[in-house]
Amino acid sequence: MRTLVLVTTVLADLDSAAARARALVRDGGRLLGVAGPPGAGKSWLVEAVVARSVDLAVAHVPMDGFHLADDSLARLGLLDVKGAPATFDVGGYAAALRRIATRDEDLVYVPGFARDLEQPIAAALAVPREAGLVLTEGNYLLLDESGWRDVRSLLDEVWYVDVPDDLRGRRLVARHVAFGKSPAQAEAWVRRSDEANARLVAESRTRADVQVRLG
């Protein structure tokens, strides 16, 4: 019986992460995904790589832009589980990545996500054909489920961001409080929703090309 051995490159600092992104482009890749559980620091890592890659004409496609709007979530009975895989337009996300990958269009508009509103904003971001590196981040890039597998297949490389659970929890509570929840509401949401999603995300980590461990 053969044993599958997973060999994963581990990046432990931001300069190494930027160098890895640059190597991906040098080797002919373009679409780089950053996955990880809620509160892992995915957006922060993307911003750090962008800041260190100004010569690559970097573009950004956040998975959160493909959240279903609250009106749709309420109609579907999913508002209380906002952030779960079913609360995203995964088909639209995959279609946007496919358009970007083919480079058939001069410009591809994609939605952004307004944290202060907790809502997606249509056509808020643009990806030009000449973008050398396209970064996309989100919880479910590695999920082995219908729709999400299409997303994974379109990405040249995916990193998984790994941080201690207690640090993630503190970040999440602080984020929810900053956007209007009381501390008690924030802690309850993290326990009920964010951590359930985090467990699901953690199960997919073996499908990543790289692990990023930043405290």
Backbone angles phi, psi at 82, to 5 degrees: -50, 130
CB of 210 closer than 8 Å to CB of 8: yes
Distance of CA 123 to the CA centre of its chain: 18
Structure pTM?
Answer: 0.89
Gyration radius of the chain over CA positions: 17
The angle formed by the CA atoms of residues 125, 131 and 133, to the nearest 5 degrees, is 100
Q: Which two tokens stand for residue 138?
A: 């989100």
pLDDT tens sequence for the chain (215 residues): 333 334 357 787 899 999 999 999 999 999 999 999 988 999 999 999 999 998 889 999 999 999 999 999 999 999 999 999 999 999 999 999 999 999 999 999 999 999 888 899 999 999 999 999 999 999 999 999 999 999 999 999 999 998 887 777 788 778 778 877 888 877 877 677 778 888 999 999 999 999 998 65
Whole-angstrom distance, CA of residue 185 vs CA of residue 113:
22
- What CATH architecture does domain 9-208 belong to? 3-Layer(aba) Sandwich (3.40)
Domain range annotation of the chain: 9-208
